[in-house]
Amino acid sequence: MKNFDQDTVKRLETVTVIVVPGYANLDPSSRKQFLEIIDEALGERPESMRRQLALFLKVLNLAPYLRWGRPLGKLEAVDAERALRWFQEAPMAKLRQGFWGLKTLVFMGYYGRREVWPEVGYAPEFGGLDV
């Protein structure tokens, strides 16, 4: 990725597996596609937004220390989900929005791939009703 360093990519993937569990089963080329889509989207955004996202990923990763004494990536699945859910429902708007934005990026990378269509049963045809 051009817009995130390796540590940030790792944090992104840690969150991604919780948000879309299917990510764990993707082969390396599909993961590359996932990251390319996100990278391109990040490239269209201002540098300040990319920095904020990278920082937010750090916060997401470290925040669970406060409750579980471990980072997000070392939590049991149920606790990891609980940790992210706290951000989704957070009382502070900035935290909710940050999580929403990150989740949107993850969904874009995962569900924006044409290769995911068979997995979800989406099979559009330009010929539509004729087909």
Partner 1 sequence: MFEKTFDIVIIGSGAGGGTVAKELAPLCGEGIRVAVLEWGPKISDDEYTGNEVDMARKLFVDSGGMLTKDGNMTLAMGKGYGGSTLSYTGTSMTVPKEVVDRWAVPGLTHGDVASRAQKYSEENNVHFQPEELLNDNNLLFQQGCRTLGYNVEQFPLNLKGCKGAGICNLGCPNQAKQGTHLVQLPEAEKAGVEVITNCLVEHIGIQELDAVVENAPFGEPSTWEEGRYRIKAKIIVVCAGAVHSSALLLSSGFGDRLPALGRYLTLHPALILVAEHPQTISNFCGHPKSFFCDQFWRSDGFLLESCMYYPFITAKNLVGFGSEHSQLMQAFQRLQMILVLAVDQAEANNRVEIDGDGRPVVDYTLSNATLDSLHTSMKAATRIFFAAGAARVHAPAGERFFIEASEADDIERLIPRNKVVPGRISITSAHLMGGCRMGEDLGTSVTDSWGRVHDHPGLFVADSALLPRANEINPYLTVMALADRVAERIRSDAGELL
Binding site for partner 1 (CB under 8 A): 18-22, 37, 40-41, 44-45, 81, 84, 88-89, 93-94, 96-97, 100-101, 103-104, 107-108, 110-112, 114, 116-117, 119-131
Closer Cβ to partner 1, 6 or 60, answer by number: 60
CA distances for 94 relative to 19, 86, 97, 104, angstroms: 19, 13, 5, 15
CB 75 within 8 A of CB 66: no
Closer Cβ to partner 1, 9 or 90, answer by number: 90
Beta-carbon neighbour count of residue 56 at 10 Å? 20
**Least distance to partner 1, CB of residue 106, Å:** 8
**Least distance to partner 1, CB of residue 117, Å:** 7
Residue type, 54: A
Give the Cα separation of 5 and 64 in Å (integer).
22
Give the Cα separation of 82 and 69 in Å (integer).
14
**Least distance to partner 1, CB of residue 105, Å:** 9
**Least distance to partner 1, CB of residue 96, Å:** 4
